[in-house]
Structure 1
Amino acid sequence: MKRILFLILLSSQLLSAQRPLSAQAEISLITCGPGQNELYSAFGHSAVRVKDPAQNIDWVFNYGIFDFDQPNFYLNFARGHLLYMLAVSDWQRFQYGYRREGRYVHEQVLDLDSLQAQAYFEFLWTNARPENRDYYYDYFYDNCATRVRDGLELAMGEGQVKFKDSTFYQPSLSIRELCDEYLEYQPWGDLGIDLCLGLPMDKQADARIEMFLPDLLEAAFAEALIKDEQGTRPLVKESRVVYPQIAKPQKSWWRPLVFFSALFVIGGLLSWLYFKKPKTLRLFDALVFGISGLLGLLLLILWLFTDHKAAAYNFNILLFLPTHLLLIPSILRGKFAAWMMAYLKFMPIFYAVLLLTWFWLPQQLHMGLMPFAMLLMLRTWHLSRHGKSA
């Protein structure tokens, strides 16, 4: 909170009076490497540096600031109304945090003439003012990277900045596959994203969508062109490694596939030991079906009752059926109504079909959840065979 207040106060002080840039001014795209301390840092970060020695300016315009203490933060986050802001900080203070974490900092100096540099600076200046700095964050279409690109295009004028149409990855990847590339060291974060975000994540990313990732924005800037009355020239005139990558993250063996495989083995052993006494496993079954049903209910709420666009049409609901919650009272009693027995007899077939079609569904489901689907298939089959009718 103190850091957020400092940035807000610093922004207000820096923007207290507008300053024209001198001929020595440089505007750069800053790209910061991924970090593995938090999920949100795993994708890296983008910002804009404005340096003008003649004006004693060396500022960073940073679209990646949010405040945990903003009113109704957690409610707004759950509803998809997460408010971010554009803040201004001193360059040395900005880069210090990334140096401390051993994350690289790259700088690309833009080849803007004095009028273009002034136009972009004034755009950033205006957007950093208190009445303009807040915006509603979107993971893939309106974030710290896309705001840098969009602001440059608006400031420069239509058609003056030309990005390549071809994607960085050939063949192109889906948004989900792009995220997977950055979550190799965050297996549980990867599971959370794959679980909570639905079919929109499986859209093929074109060259423009790819730029939601900071290092792909850096790659796009490296190949972009400026087309103006002076002719055509590269957007970037100089690239610098301000600080190299030092941190070397380690992969963890404790991954979702390991956990759910172990859970399936435990469930299989219990089912064998108490093959004709499923009532003995009622607490285990209540936990398994309760968690499954609650997760399904959460996914349904994210889809239907929030503005998280990427959470829509989530095929994970086929695995985590909210209707499993209806089984809990009967599981604890050890007796099932006739319709519940029919439900239990249908579920093994349902899960068998889901497992057989797992890799051909429109949405890419997380492979680590396959053992959990197998566990649900096993336990519904066991209950349907040896459960008692009410």
Structure 2
Amino acid sequence: MQKRILLLIIICLSACPIGIYAFPQITDSAKVSILYCSPGEEIYELFGHTGLRVCDSSKNIDIVFNYGLFDFNQKDFIMRFVRGKTDYQVGVNMYNDFIYMYESRGSGINECVLDLSPEEKKEIIDYLLWNIKPENCVYRYNFIFNNCATKIRDIIEQSVHGKIIYPSITESISFREAIMQYTKNAAWSQFGFDICLGMGMDRMATERELMFLPENLNLTYAESTVVDSTYNVKNIVSSNEQIIPILREEGKQWFTPTLCGYILLALIIALSVFGYINHKSFKVFDITIFTINGLFGCVILFLILFSQHPFTNDNYNIIWLNPLAFFPLLTLIFKSLKKFKVIYYGFVSIVLTFFLVSMPLIPQFFNDAVVPFTLIYLVRSASHPLYWGYHRNTKKGQNN
């Protein structure tokens, strides 16, 4: 982990604005290519990375324009990230430094050389030189619609003289299904994505939209063509080759959120049965787990109301992770609320039961772990009305 953080710091430090020195006029032999770096292990590496290489051997130029730079020390970085207001910037790495950094983490690197005219190359490089200036290098990052891959796609589209024809999608997939291809061995990360991202993620994505993923950008351009004004058709990529093989071995997490959820559910059921038989309600335990629920509910509510991240609104996970779960904690502070505890737990039991039954009808994908974790809160909620009813009937029997 420390090694990976160090590499990330090196990437940021080694990138510099090219405007600090004169950039020579490139020759017609210069090449512009897309560099795709395969995913790493950390959460910020899961989807890979993309850079735009400019190489002109006759001028000793070989650099990579990198749109994946951000500043950890930026004021209120964490809060800005949660709110979707993170600013990224473009920087320049020497080609050999860029290759070393991603090879060191075990990533493979693929290069798609673009078949461009001298005028198209000039337009791309002129834009990059403008973009790298300190007053232009910062952009508002958006995980889906404005990231390291989409920036490169947009630059190519605006510079190519002709209409780019992207290959047709053989099988439509949603945004969520697209990212799940890269998180299949990172179950906890996928659980986090599924909890925080709402039903918008389940919309079918177009071929162009799917290029928010660096690998899809690479694969799509490798199969794309350009139609010019005279209706001539040519491939937009002249060569496509792997320059660094993948060295990292993929590991799979065995302790998944789903497994964790069902283990906890079994323990909760056993605890609830024990409490029912022995007339124990475990109030402190319930206050603890419902407070945790409320905290996560606040995060989801915040994302729904205030975040600019795409697809965080319309999130039905707010039904089972809800700020109202703070109610048991509030009964410790406000004693007058205790008389409503049974009503509260009964209401929660009904809502969670309805939610579980209705899940197949809700137009949003739910992670498999949602079922056991929801059942945990359903079991503990239902135990209170059951215990209250049993306790009341016992008292009546004693009085009779």
Q: How is 1:302-381 mapped onto 2 (pairs within 5 angstroms)?
A: 302-330=303-331, 337-381=338-382
Q: Are 2:272 and 1:263 aligned?
A: no
Q: TM (normalized to structure 1)?
A: 0.92
Unaligned runs of at least 5 residues, structure 1: none
CA distance 1:340–1:134, change in 2 (3 Å): same
Deviation of 1:309 (Å): 3.1
SS of the counterpart of 1:131? coil
Q: Find the counterpart in structure 2 of residue 7 from structure 1.
A: 14
Q: Any conservation in 2 of the 1:286–1:331 contact (CA below 8 Å)?
A: no
Q: Find the counterpart in structure 2 of residue 163 from structure 1.
A: 166
Higher deviation after alignment, 278-287 or 130-139 = 278-287
Q: How is 1:13-92 mapped onto 2 (pairs within 5 angstroms)?
A: 13=20, 16-36=21-41, 38-92=42-96
Q: Any conservation in 2 of the 1:34–1:41 contact (CA below 8 Å)?
A: yes
Higher deviation after alignment, 355-364 or 183-192 = 355-364
Q: In 1, Cα distance between the equivalents of 2:299 and 2:67? A: 30
Query: Letter of the aligned partner of 2:24 in structure 1?
Result: R
Q: Find the counterpart in structure 2 of residue 140 from structure 1.
A: 144
Root-mean-square deviation (Å): 2.2
Q: How is 1:230-249 mapped onto 2 (pairs within 5 angstroms)?
A: 231-249=232-250
Deviation digits for residues 115-170 of structure 1 (CA, Å, limit 9, x no counterpart): 1111111111111111111100101111100110101111225x432323x22xx4
Deviation of 1:81 (Å): 0.6
Q: Are 2:120 and 1:116 aligned?
A: yes
Q: Are 2:105 and 1:129 aligned?
A: no
Deviation digits for residues 71-106 of structure 1 (CA, Å, limit 9, x no counterpart): 322221122110001111100000111211221100
CA distance 1:5–1:333, change in 2 (3 Å): closer
CA distance 1:278–1:254, change in 2 (3 Å): farther
Q: In 1, Cα distance between the equivalents of 2:107 and 2:15? A: 25
SS of the counterpart of 1:367? coil
Deviation of 1:229 (Å): 4.6
CA distance 1:5–1:348, change in 2 (3 Å): closer
Q: Any conservation in 1 of the 2:261–2:373 contact (CA below 8 Å)?
A: yes
CA distance 1:278–1:203, change in 2 (3 Å): farther
Deviation of 1:328 (Å): 2.1
Q: In 2, Cα distance between the equivalents of 1:5 and 1:213? A: 21
Q: Any conservation in 1 of the 2:65–2:90 contact (CA below 8 Å)?
A: yes
Q: In 1, Cα distance between the equivalents of 2:280 and 2:61? A: 72
SS of the counterpart of 2:240? strand
Higher deviation after alignment, 343-352 or 104-113 = 343-352
SS of the counterpart of 2:311? helix
Could you list the runs of 4 or more consecutive aligned residues of structure 1 that deviate by over 4 angstroms after TM superposition? 276-280, 331-338
CA distance 1:53–1:83, change in 2 (3 Å): same
Deviation of 1:206 (Å): 1.1
Q: In 2, Cα distance between the equivalents of 1:39 and 1:94? A: 20
Q: In 2, Cα distance between the equivalents of 1:44 and 1:60? A: 16
Q: Find the counterpart in structure 1 of residue 5 from structure 2.
A: none
Alignment length (residue pairs): 382
Query: Letter of the aligned partner of 2:86 in structure 1?
Result: L
Q: Any conservation in 2 of the 1:279–1:334 contact (CA below 8 Å)?
A: no
Query: Letter of the aligned partner of 1:385 in structure 2?
Result: L
Query: Letter of the aligned partner of 2:370 in structure 1?
Result: L
Q: Find the counterpart in structure 1 of residue 176 from structure 2.
A: 176
SS of the counterpart of 1:182? helix
Query: Letter of the aligned partner of 2:213 in structure 1?
Result: L
Deviation of 1:282 (Å): 1.6
Query: Letter of the aligned partner of 1:107 in structure 2?
Result: E
Q: In 1, Cα distance between the equivalents of 2:215 and 2:72? A: 26
SS of the counterpart of 2:100? helix
Q: Are 2:97 and 1:93 aligned?
A: yes
Q: Any conservation in 2 of the 1:11–1:89 contact (CA below 8 Å)?
A: no
Deviation of 1:307 (Å): 1.9
Q: How is 1:213-292 mapped onto 2 (pairs within 5 angstroms)?
A: 213-229=213-229, 231-276=232-277, 279-292=280-293
Deviation of 1:339 (Å): 3.8
Q: Find the counterpart in structure 1 of residue 189 from structure 2.
A: 189
Q: Any conservation in 1 of the 2:290–2:325 contact (CA below 8 Å)?
A: yes
SS of the counterpart of 2:276? coil
Deviation digits for residues 316-344 of structure 1 (CA, Å, limit 9, x no counterpart): 00111211111224379999645432232
Deviation of 1:303 (Å): 1.0
Q: Any conservation in 1 of the 2:175–2:204 contact (CA below 8 Å)?
A: yes
Q: Any conservation in 2 of the 1:20–1:118 contact (CA below 8 Å)?
A: no
Q: Any conservation in 1 of the 2:143–2:309 contact (CA below 8 Å)?
A: no
Deviation of 1:10 (Å): 5.7
Query: Letter of the aligned partner of 2:163 in structure 1?
Result: Q
User: Identity of paired residues, percent?
Assistant: 30
Q: In 1, Cα distance between the equivalents of 2:227 and 2:128? A: 21
Q: Any conservation in 2 of the 1:65–1:84 contact (CA below 8 Å)?
A: yes
Q: TM (normalized to structure 2)?
A: 0.90
Higher deviation after alignment, 301-310 or 102-111 = 301-310
